[in-house]
Amino acid sequence: MRLADLIRENATSKDAVLDLLTAMAGEGLDSIPLETLSDELSHQGIDLDENALFDLLGSLAIVRNIKDGVAFFNTDSDQSHNATDLPDPGVQKNQVKKLAKKQVDKGMKK
């Protein structure tokens, strides 16, 4: 019975951390100090020591890395980019035409 309680508690902690990090990443933040994250979790009634929090963060895909006590978020997925971030196809097409013409002109001069 105790093992089931430990597993349930671990899942609850992981869900709480994931919810916090997802909300922060959605607000445009790209990092959070571990101390701040630990304090926020304590306010929610979840007590994790530094090592347990470090291990938990290491198992989450949203965490890119942890350096100097700061967790950096991995927000490089396709879903995190707006349509304005995408290159303009018309501009790319013109660049390709220019480069192709330049290569042909170089080849003709030889």
From the list 28, 48, 52, the residue with the least C-alpha distance to 40 is: 48
Q: How far is CA 98 from each of CA 57, 61, 65, 105, 107, rounded to the nearest angstrom?
A: 47, 41, 41, 10, 14
Contact 74, 64 (CB under 8 A): yes
Which residues form the domain of 78? 2-109
Q: How many domains does the chain have?
A: 1
pLDDT digits (tens, 9 = 90+) for 19-67: 888 888 888 888 888 888 888 888 888 888 888 888 888 888 888 888 8
What pLDDT sits at residue 81?
A: 46
Q: Which tokens hold the place of 45?
A: 């009634």
CATH, residue 12:
1.10.10
Instruction: Give the model's pLDDT for residue 79.
Output: 47
Mean pLDDT of the chain: 77
CB atoms inside a 10 Å sphere around CB 2: 6
In the chain, beta strands by DSSP E: 31-33, 63-67, 70-73
Share of the chain above pLDDT 70, in %: 75
Instruction: Please state the pTM of the whole predicted model.
Output: 0.56
